[in-house]
Each structure stands twice: as C-alpha cells, then as structure tokens.
Structure 1
C-alpha cells in the first residue's frame, strides 16, 4: 500500500509528536508536497517568534518590577533614617526634610560660694579647728609655718581683749576658733569669729578696726607672746566670718613699722584664712548643685 492511500487519514499537526506528515495523495511516486512543507515551516517560525516576543515582554516586566522595588526600598530606608547623606551631585534634599531646629537652651548659672558663707542657714557644713586649720604645718610661698595650739569656744568674749569682748557679745558672736603658727622667732594667732549673717560680721569688722584684738594662744612648743609687748593686729571679714590676727616676736620685742617680717607673716595668715573660708563656700555650692 502506498503512502496517502488506504486506511484512515490523520490530520498532521506540526506541534503534535508522531503525527503523520501530509504527502501528496494525488501522486503515485511518493514525492513530498514541498509547497505544503514550506507553508508549515513558515507557520512554525511565526509561532515561535510570537512566543519569543511574549517571553521577552515578561522578562522586561520582571526586570522593571525588580528595579521599581529596589527604588522603593531605597526610598523607604532614607525615610526611616532621616535625611540621606549620599545624594547624587544633581539631587537636592526636599525642603520638608530639613534638619529640625530647637529652641536655644542655657545651663543655669553656677551657684555663688559667697551666698553659702553669708548666712548660717546655708552655711551648714561641719566646722572645727581641724577643718579650718588642717595639718601640722602650713606652707605659703617659700615660708613654712609650724602649727601650734588650737582652741574652739562659744564664749567669744573669753578669747578676746581690748574692746573686742564687748563688740563680739553685743553683735551676736556665736563661736570663735583660734590657731597659732610660728616661724623664725615670730608667732601669730588667727581667730575666726562666726555670726548668723553677713550684716553682723560687716558691722563687727568696722567696730573692731581699733583697740580690739583676739588673744594670743600659746602652747604646743610656742611660748607666751604678745601678752605685754606691742604686736601687730589685723581685722577682716568675708561672709558671716570675721577673722583676726595677733602676731609678734617670741622674745618679747615690740613690733615696729620697720619689722616687715612680722607684716609678711600677718599677710600670709590672713590670706590662708580667707582661702579656707572661701573654699568652704565652694564645697557647699558644689554639693548643692549636685543635689
């Protein structure tokens, strides 16, 4: 039996495996129908081209989607972390994303140490002869002073002489602390009188400028001094404190205006006492600021 004759005829489908190709049924020599084959090949090529175009479109959409997602993700990251810092040269930050501004603030002024030593209500830190005059010696510049005896009393008049007992009692002296220092044949006693407020201390300083002195304090290696001879006395004040000095020679010699050594000793001890009182105010101010 020749191809194309006899038996059931099947329709050829170029995309169906094992389907029978169409041969010319009119010829007896079995020659293929080349025109039909060419037409079928062209049909297959067109269908493949359409599929490739469709596949390319899908790929383009997929790539476009990926780029869009990347852009959205990048923008989201910038929004979450504030203004972007690595912008292209041609880009600009939108006005809405400018750095926020805040109202100016200022730290409170530091507390003034003088406010604390001006009133007994604020000046509440522990105080004694040892805290006011610490250690066993004092160095001022190149001079070393050996500390002698100390004393602390609430009977202010008992530690004063001249007009000072009366002045202290009349103006509310609550305490008088003394310490003696000596160097090179001279000795000086420093007395610190306490009052409730600065106004009282200022008044006492003015009243005690003449004919008033704190008693010298011998002891601990320092013999009596300034109990009969002429000595140097000074009076000053800071805050609610009035501080006095009485100094002279250990051999009983009178102090004159030419005895610059005694004046130097008096200046050193006045400066040291002022520093100690002021440091007290600084410590109290610092403690109050940290509360």
Structure 2
C-alpha cells in the first residue's frame, strides 16, 4: 500500500448668419412747382435734404456690409489656421515609420538565441548517490521533539541509524534490503494516545534498487522502543505495515498499540497514524531534493 503526497466628437454648433438687410425708408416725393419765373426755393431745399438723408443711409449700409465681410474673412482665416495646425500636428505625431540607423559602423545590440536552462528537478538530486550529497542524519530527517499534523500531535521517541540494514528489519525484510544494496537505515518512532509507529528509511545507490525493494517487500521494519515509548508490535502481535519509495529511498512503517492489542481494519486511528507519519517521511525526503536543486540553481556550475 503506497502513500501519495507532495499543485465618444460632436460637431461644433454652426451659427446661422442672416444676410445683411439695409434699412428701408420711404422717400418723400420729389416735388417741384413751376411759377412764372421764380424757383420754389422751399421745394428745392426739401429735395436737397432728402438726397442728403439717402446718401447717409447708403453710407451706413455700406459700412455694415463691409464690417460683415471683414468678420467673415477673419473667421475663415481662423478656421483655416486651426485646420492647418491640426494637420501639421497630425503629421508630426501620426507618423508610424521608424527611422533606421544610417551609421552601421557602430556596435549594434545582439540577443542570444539560446534559451536559459530549465530549473533543476529535485528528483534528480534524490535519485542517485552521485548527486545526493547533502548531509543526512536522523535529526535532519526527523527533526524536533514532536510531529504535528493538523490537530494531532505525536511525541517523538527514539531514533537510530545503522549501515547494517538487516538489523533494522524483521520477518524477511532484511534479506530484501541486502539483496538490492541497502547502505543505511534511519529509524524514528512516534506515539500518540497509545498508538506507536516506527518509520524506517532505507538508502540505496539508485532509484531502481529502492523501487525493487519496495515491490519485493516481506515483513517490515523493526519497531524501535525507548525515549518514553514502550515496546509495541512484538512477536505474535498484529500491526499495520506499509512500504513505499521515492527516488533512491525506500521507506517502511509499522504501527500498532503499545498495549499489545491486535490491529484490525476497523482501527481507523492506527491507519490515520500510518498516513500521517508516512506522508511526513515522503515530504522530508522530497525536501532534500528541493533544497539541493535550489542550491544548484543559485550557484550554477562554471562553463567549461
């Protein structure tokens, strides 16, 4: 049984100009009286006055027409000037044709056609012993004095590390580890509410060997008592065993009651404990790969 884990323009208003109308005034009739030889000076004076008034009205009307014509000419000139300015502005700012450099002797910018390398894959660093160089101890793999998962707090018990992989295994697991080249087993025990679990992480030189050890698993990891946790999963006691692998690591768990009670499929608390600790081991192993990948990205190897 395996663990999963660590994805709007309106046109301007046009003013209507009425044509200039000259004031009209009815002229008095020209009257001349004939006498036997003496002019009618009174009539002549009235006629002269009428002619003078008519000339004044003509002058006034002509002046008004001239004024209106001048105003029209000025308005047309202003509109033309504005239109010309807009056209010039559009001409100055609306050009989309770029200017090309004429001096080709100056250095021109260049761009690399080579794409940057992808970031390192964490799995590359935990899949072979050649790249997995970060220090590894029980404390770095299982740090702290307890494990907290949600609201569940597990007290950490004893830890151990051995290069004699068979001594950390029982009921047939030892020979499987040796067969595939196990180089080290690191164990840690956790306990909560009378349920204890030991997780053992076995190291191999390559990913393929760890995968085979998981597939051919027999027995389980040896429970590790001590540091406040009593013995559990002794001989003839039924416990929950599981196995999985990640990169060049295979990891195994064995969980049961510290009272010696047999584990059944109805014991959800034991299964939950196994899930929590197994997922924690998975995350810790993957974190090693991520940390080494980040370090490699920050300090790339020099070009040869």
TM range (shorter): 0.5 to 0.7
Instruction: Find the partner of 2:224 among 217, 222, 227.
Output: 217
- Distance in 2, Cα, partners of 1:161 & 1:199: 22
- Per the alignment, residue 238 of structure 1 pairs with 246
Q: Establish whether residue 190 from structure 1 lines up as the match of residue 194 from structure 2.
A: no
1:86-119 superposed Cα distances (whole Å, 9 cap, x missing partner): x942666543159978466643211110011000
- Distance in 1, Cα, partners of 2:129 & 2:141: 16
1:1-291 map, 5 Å: 88-89=92-93, 94-97=98-101, 102=111, 106-208=115-217, 211-228=218-235, 229-291=237-299
- Per the alignment, residue 61 of structure 1 pairs with none
Change (3 A) 1:101 1:92: farther
What RMSD in Å do the two structures reach over aligned CA positions?
A: 2.0
SS in 2 for 1:254: coil
Structure 2, unaligned stretches of length 5 or more? 1-90, 103-107, 300-304
Change (3 A) 1:95 1:244: same
- Distance in 2, Cα, partners of 1:91 & 1:134: 67
1:163-219 superposed Cα distances (whole Å, 9 cap, x missing partner): 1111111111000000000001100000000000001001100010xx320000000
* Structure with higher RCO (Cα < 8 A, 6+ apart): 2
- Distance in 1, Cα, partners of 2:96 & 2:255: 80
Bigger drift between 96-105 and 135-144 goes to 96-105
Change (3 A) 1:276 1:90: closer
- Distance in 2, Cα, partners of 1:125 & 1:102: 37
- Normalising by structure 2, report the TM-score: 0.63
- Normalising by structure 1, report the TM-score: 0.66
Deviation at 1:243, TM superposition (A): 0.3
Runs of 4 or more consecutive aligned structure 1 residues displaced over 2 Å after TM superposition = 87-95, 97-107
SS in 1 for 2:177: helix
Change (3 A) 1:115 1:253: same
Change (3 A) 1:90 1:174: closer
- Distance in 1, Cα, partners of 2:208 & 2:137: 23
SS in 2 for 1:144: strand
Change (3 A) 1:289 1:184: same
- Distance in 2, Cα, partners of 1:206 & 1:94: 67
- Distance in 1, Cα, partners of 2:275 & 2:205: 26
How many equivalent residue pairs?
Answer: 203
Change (3 A) 1:91 1:119: closer
- Distance in 2, Cα, partners of 1:220 & 1:155: 22
Change (3 A) 1:110 1:186: same
- Distance in 2, Cα, partners of 1:97 & 1:245: 71
